[in-house]
Each structure stands twice: as C-alpha cells, then as structure tokens.
A and B are shown apart, each in its own frame.
Chain A
Amino acid sequence: MEFASFLLKRALWSLLVLFGLSIIIFAIARGIPGDPARISLGPAATPEQVQLLRDRLGLDRPLIEQFGLFVGGLMQGDLGRSLLTERSVTADIRDTFAATFELVLVTITVALVCGAPMGVAAATWRNRWPDHVVQFVSIFSAVTPTFLKALLLQILAGYVLHILPTTGRLPAGMDFSADLTGMLLIDSVLRGRPDVFFEAIRHLLLPVIALSLASMGQIARITRASMIDVAGQDYIEANRAFGVPEHVRVFKYALRPSFVPPLTILGLQFSALIGNAFVVELIFAWPGMAAYGVRAILQKDLNAVMGVVMVSGVFFVIVNLVIDILVGYVDPRVRIRGRR
C-alpha cells in the first residue's frame, strides 16, 4: 500500500519533470534567433512553404497557445520533420533508439556488475592493494574525457592490435535485421542466431568499455565508501553483539543498505552517460539516436535536436523512475519519506 503510493508519487513527479523539460525545450526552440519555420525547412524552402509551416506551428499566435500546440504535438509523438533526413523526427528516432538503448543498457549493467564488486573488494581490503587499484582506476576513469578513452580504445584494439571491430553494430555483410526488439543481443537469441549474438558482443565491447568506465569508477567509489560507512554503523555492531555470524552480517545486513548510495549515484550518473553516449556513438559510428543527435546538432537541424533532447529526457526520467523504484524496494526509508 505504502509502496503503491510511493510509486504513484514518483510517477507524478516524473510527469512534472517532463512538463518542465518541455517548457525548457520550447523556450529554446522559440528563443533562438531567426525564424524557426525557416530554419526547420532549410534554405531551399519558398516563402509560401515557410508561411505554411508558420501557420501550422501557429508561430503568429500568442506564445501560450503555441506552447499548447507544441505539447499537443509531443503527446501525439509529432516532433516535426528533420531537415537532415527529410523524414519525420519521430520515425528517425524510432529507427535509431534501439541501438542507443542497447548500448546504454549494457553499459549500465556492466558498470553495476563490475563497479559494485570493485567497491566491495576495495572496502573489504581497505588500504591494501585491491583498494589502491580500485581508487586509482576510478579516479582516472572519472577524469579522462570519454572521447579520449574512446579514441584510444579504438586505435589500440582496432588499429594496432586488430582484435576488435571499431565501427557499427554488426559486420557490414551480416544479414540480420533486428526487427523484434531492435536490440541485437535479444533478437539474435530469439531468432536463434548465435553468430549474430557473438558479433554483436564483439561490436559492443569497445563502446561499452569507453562509456562504462566513468560510471563504473564512480559506483566502485561510492560502494566502497558506503560499505565502510555501513560497516561502522551501530546496527552492524549490534548484530555482532547479538551473535549474528559474520557472513550474515556482511552479505545480508551490510550489503543491502550499502547499495542505496551507488544506485542513487547511478541515477545521477545517467545524465552524464547519455551525454557521453553522444560522443561514443559518433566515434564508433554506432547507428544510434545519439549519433543522429550529434549530426543534427552540428547541422542545426532544429526539430531533430529538440526531438533528441526530449527523448533523452524521457529516457533519463524513466531510468530514474526505475532506479527510484529499486531504491524504494531496497530502502524502506525512501518509500516512506517519498523522496530521495
């Protein structure tokens, strides 16, 4: 019951955030110098075409009405046409999102699956070599620009050592279309194509490493700090005094509260993750939404830029909602207080 109302509260909050996001995007879209209709139609457009779009977007109407139209369009999934591809932005994003989703999802998983144990190891062997290694790795992965990591990995693994493919999701000649979920790892399993699965993983390896290192380091650091913090808490000491064995103390009573801060951090990190996905996708020619977004940004494809920002925002909000639910599940304090 209390969990349900917590979920409801979080969901409503997410909606509010999305509303705020749409205001900001609208402000940017309308605040730019120049005529949005002209910009989104491109230089080849005739004055009549421009006027037609001005009418459709209601650019001559009061701002508040324009905002209504804008949000109405968003709700119907209408993000306008892309100047670059001359298709609807919604269709473009639909085609590219799965690739980004797969990349980001694998990255988060890798960051968590590697980062958390690294943190636990560092906390367990505090001030010994595993700790030093983890600290070193996490500091350096946090301060190295993602594009540098991506470039170096690409050069090293792809060019110098020739061991991994450096671009795309699959080899050029591979005959496979991910038409079920759009995610190669899943579709290849569903279609019984181990060769595709294998290639998909090989192609994912470099981008995922480049993208996950920073989050992994952060998660390891936070897990370490939080393990150490929890281990010193009175309730762990109390368990000891009541004769609860060490393995139960560590793996049941200490581990669970220790996971709250890293999860929370993951939610915040996700923002940077999406941003860095833009760079990584570009470098590895990953056919995702972020690469589409960068091209749109560089070419000033206004509608596409706004669409990509909006979709990243929605993606971000949903991931954070999921994380909220996880945190709420792990930590009753959160769901009872209702906020992190």
Chain B
Amino acid sequence: MIARKLLASVALSTMLTATIPLSAWAQNVVTMTTGQIFRSIDPAKVTDYTDYMGVVNLYDGLTSVEPDGSIVPALAESWEVSPDAREVTYKLRDDATFSDGSPVEAGDVVYSVERLLRINQGPASMLAGVLTPGSVTAVDNKTVKFTLAKNFAPFLAVVPAIFILNEEAVKPHEGDDDAQSWLATNAAGAGPFTLKAYDRGTRLTVVRNEDYYKGFPENPIDEVRWIVVNDEASVRAMGASGELTMTGPFQSPDTYDALEGMGYKIENHPTSSTLYLKLNNQVTPTDDVHIRRAIALATDYETIREVIFPGNRLTTPLPDTFKQFHADDVPEPKYDLEAARAEVAKSKYAGQPISITLGFLTGIKYQEEISLLMQANLEQIGFTVTQAVNPWNRVTELATKVETTPAVNQIFFSATYPSPDSMFHTQYHSSAAGTWASMEWINDPEVDKLIEEARGTGELDKQIDIYKELQHKLVDMQSDVFLLTQVSKHALNKCLEGLSIIPMRSFGYDFSRYSWNCD
C-alpha cells in the first residue's frame, strides 16, 4: 500500500515538473489570445472583429488597406473608376496565385462576389443596393468590372472586405448550400497563410504559405495560433509559462501591467474605434435634448479614459484619425455636475423623478465599471438608475425596436471600412435604424440627407464640408455621449514586430506584415 503510494507520488511529481515541450518544429510561432470565438472562417459570413482576424490571414482581396487608411493594391495591381463613378475596373496581378498554386483569375472574383450576394450575410450588408447579381463581369481573364447600381462613394474602401475564393477548389464541395458547410471548416484563398487547425470554440491555427505572391518581410512568422481564452487569469498564466506571444487589445489594464512585469512589451496604438453612450432619442427621458446634455455633462471622461479604458479624447461622432474630415472646432466635452443639474432643470422632466436605464454588455469589465461610474454620477444629479446587463445577442435583439432599446447604451463601434461614411451611415441614417449600431433612433431627415449627399458626391472638398456639418449637427443634438477613441493596447513578445492598427476591421492582424526579430 505504502509502496504503491510512493510510486504514485513519484509519477505525479515527474508529471508536474516536466516542462511543456517547446515547439521545435516551427521556427517563428505566434500564439495570440482572443476573448471571442471564431464564429466563422467563411469570407461570406464573417461579421465581427475575431472572424476577420482569421480571414485576413487566409484570404486576400483585390485591394488592401494601409494603417493610414489608404487603399493599396493586393490581388489587383491597378484599378480605374469611370467618370460617373458607376463603374470600377480592376486589373489582376499576373503572378497572383491561390495557396494551391493555381492562378487567380477574373472568374474567381465574379464567383466570390456572386456567392457573397447569394448568401447575403456578413460583408454583403456593406454592398446592399450597390451590387446586384450580374453587377460583376469578367472583361478578360485578368480584368473584372464592377457596375454599381447607385452612386456609392465609399465603394473603393469596401472592396478590401471582399475576399476572393478559389472557384475551382470550392466547386466540388458546393452541395446545395454554396459550399457553406465545406468553407466552414476549410479555406480556399490566396492569403499569406493556410489553414492548419480550426476548432471554432477554442483555436485557429494557420501556417505560412511559402509561395505567397506578395512575399514576406525578413524573418517572417511561420505559424500563428489563436487561442480562445475567456478570462484574464488564464491569459496571465499563459504569459507566465511563456506560451503567450501576443494578447488581443481587450485585456484588463491589470493584465497588461502583469505581462509587462513578465517581460512583454506593451504597445499603444490610437485607433478609430470609438466608445459611445448611445442615447435613445425617442424614449423618456432621453427624448429631451437637455437630459441628453445633462448625461453628457455628468460623464467623467477623464476617469474613464485614464483609469477604466485606455483612450484618447473624442469630441464628435468621428474619431480624429479621420484627419481631414474631423471638425476640429468642436470643443472637448466637459465633466461638470453643476452644469448637468442646470440642464436637467431646463428639461421638460424638471422637478419629476427621472428614472433611466443604463445598458451594457455581460461580462465586459470596463463597461461594467463605466456603467457604475455613470450611475454614481447620475444619481448625484437626481436620476434613478437601473442597470441592464445583456449578452450581445440580446442587445442586438433589443435594438430592433425603439421601445425596447434602453435609454443609454454603451456601444463600442469601429469603422468597417476606411471612410467616414462607415461611421455615419451605419450609425445615424434612418435606413440603418434597428441595429445595435444605431440605437440612437435619431430618424432625422436632415441627417439622412447629408449622409446621402456625401455618398453621392465624388468631390472630396464637398464631402469634407458635409461631414463637418454633420458632426456639428450631431454634437448639437447630443445624439450620444462621445466617450473616447480606443487606444489599443497589446502585450507582445519583445521579438515580435509589425503590429499596426488599420482602420478597417481587424486587418491589422494580417501576420504577413509581422516579423520575428531576435536572434
């Protein structure tokens, strides 16, 4: 009995002390944590930040985006826009190949777009009403023409989100669902990486496509592994064990501090992602502009930016990363409880008990803290506050109706394509109402008109004027409380270089831009 116990404990201790065998077979491996699961790796179905992280590495589009928002060639080496801006013709690179070695041809582009429109999910929403079946035609083997159904100035900025599938590779698996089942677990693209392992709930691993037509920097990344980790403690534990190469941008400040202490470098990058308190302009009490202003004045911007969630100031709905479009003359919002009380007194609810609901997302620490801070301040100016914590799905459901949308909602919004249109149309146009991004329910014909005008014009100066006017208007209406623009924080292994923030989805995590620079 004792002998057996001894044996067991010896076995146990060897097991405990054995170190994790380091991956000797791959040279430069990046292990990155992400808090959300990869819902899909099908380019026609990707919707969120995490999904795009996968596809930007597995697929390429006709064009791509640089950190400054400019559109650069990718599969297409050049493009031409017709004078009326209704036709765009892309010329494909001769050397562009899919990861299986076959050339990328115009037919693949047509197939990919048609499939996208048929499935009508994910990126298709950006093209609604712009492209219709038959809009895309192959002029020749290496030339494709897009014919737009209506004027849509941001079109060029949307194109990078159209990823090109290898038609030949997909066809055999088409089935009766446009190969949705097959592409749910396989990839057939021209991206810098190929799929190695994918388990939607837990991990995605990709390996370098050595024949990538654009090539790689020196000391490229050979393998990227994303691991879905839900809690901060696990991220830190991975940091401690050295498993971790890079975190996502949504860890708690304490985790970054802890990782810094372990020898990771912390990089801060300003982004065009914005955090708003979206105020429902149609329900009590936020239907009164004075109440909306009171809430804005009762917001402690500095504490939020400095203690709770790292960020830069946001003065208008548009982050100042859109330099030329930003209305710089709008003053910075102030935290002033006295002024807030004065605004309440001016409102039609003055003298009555005012109850208000603050909505935020389940399980997001910074949102809970901001919501508590808001509650504390709002209670001081006489509001009765209820917190409404909801999971994301529930939020999207509540957002579909004006009466179920809470008065105040914490919403984090990123441009989905590098154009101010992405910020304004999605959030403030009445036709976009009923989604989580437009919980303001502004429904203002003037705002709609301005947004459409900007879309319809090809002149940059005119666009700039319109967007500045829009910003003044929305700030004046106090459609939202403009909390901050995110400063994205990442903890990285000291050897990893190349992280940059691109104002489109998670294009910044295209690991063909990264390199490993240690000896």
Also in contact, A173 and B23, with CB within 8 A (given A162-B241, A299-B392, A300-B393):
yes
Closest 9 CB pairs of A and B: A173-B23, A43-B396, A287-B202, A158-B237, A163-B16, A166-B237, A159-B237, A172-B225, A299-B393
A275 interfacial by beta-carbon distance below 8 Å = no
- In the complex, identify which listed stretch (B140-148, B228-236, B379-387, B471-479) lies at the interface while the others stay far away: B228-236
B39 interfacial by beta-carbon distance below 8 Å = yes
Extra inter-chain contacts (16) besides given A43-B400, A44-B121, A96-B201, CB under 8 Å: A42-B393, A43-B436, A44-B396, A85-B201, A95-B199, A159-B236, A162-B240, A167-B229, A167-B234, A167-B238, A171-B20, A171-B243, A172-B225, A285-B227, A285-B229, A300-B393
- Chain B 234-275: CB-based contact to A (< 8 A → 1; otherwise 0): 101110110100000000000000000000000000000000
Also in contact, A85 and B200, with CB within 8 A (given A171-B243, A298-B362, A301-B393):
yes
Which of chain A's residues have a CB closer than 8 A to the CB of B197?
177
Q: Which residues in window 132-174 of A have CB below 8 A to B?
A: 151, 154-155, 157-159, 162-168, 171-173
Which of chain A's residues have a CB closer than 8 A to the CB of B362?
298
Give chain A nearest CB distance to B239 CB in angstroms: 9
A334 interfacial by beta-carbon distance below 8 Å = no
What class of interface size applies to chain A in its complex with B?
35 or more
A234 interfacial by beta-carbon distance below 8 Å = no
A202 to B17, CA, bound (A): 10
Among B26, B184, B237, B363, point to the contact of A154 (Cβ < 8 A).
B237
Among A175, A205, A285, A299, point to the contact of B202 (Cβ < 8 A).
A285
Which of chain A's residues have a CB closer than 8 A to the CB of B200?
85, 87, 92
Can you name the residue of chain A whose Cβ is closest to the Cβ of B234? A167
- Chain A 280-301: CB-based contact to B (< 8 A → 1; otherwise 0): 0011010100011001001111
Among A42, A165, A199, A282, point to the contact of B241 (Cβ < 8 A).
A165
Can you name the residue of chain A whose Cβ is closest to the Cβ of B16? A163
A198 interfacial by beta-carbon distance below 8 Å = yes
Q: Please tell me if the beta carbons of B40 and A86 are within 8 angstroms of each other in the complex.
A: yes
A177 to B205, CA, bound (A): 13
Q: Please tell me if the beta carbons of A86 and B396 are within 8 angstroms of each other in the complex.
A: no
Which of chain B's residues have a CB closer than 8 A to the CB of A165?
20, 241
A250 interfacial by beta-carbon distance below 8 Å = no
Also in contact, A171 and B399, with CB within 8 A (given A95-B199, A287-B199):
no
B334 interfacial by beta-carbon distance below 8 Å = no
Which of chain B's residues have a CB closer than 8 A to the CB of A43?
393, 396-397, 399-400, 435-436
- Chain A 200-219: CB-based contact to B (< 8 A → 1; otherwise 0): 01100100000000000000
A92 to B23, CA, bound (A): 29
A116 interfacial by beta-carbon distance below 8 Å = no
Q: Please tell me if the beta carbons of A86 and B234 are within 8 angstroms of each other in the complex.
A: no
- Chain A 30-43: CB-based contact to B (< 8 A → 1; otherwise 0): 00001000110011
Can you name the residue of chain B whose Cβ is closest to the Cβ of A202? B15
Also in contact, A159 and B31, with CB within 8 A (given A96-B201, A285-B234, A295-B37):
no
Which of chain A's residues have a CB closer than 8 A to the CB of B243?
171-172
- Chain A 20-61: CB-based contact to B (< 8 A → 1; otherwise 0): 000000000000001000110011100000000000000000
- Chain B 434-476: CB-based contact to A (< 8 A → 1; otherwise 0): 0110000000000000000000000000000000000000000
A319 interfacial by beta-carbon distance below 8 Å = no
Also in contact, A171 and B240, with CB within 8 A (given A43-B397, A155-B233):
no
Which of chain A's residues have a CB closer than 8 A to the CB of B118?
none
Specify which of B25, B227, B230 lies most central, judged by the most chain A CB atoms within 10 Å of its CB. Answer: B230
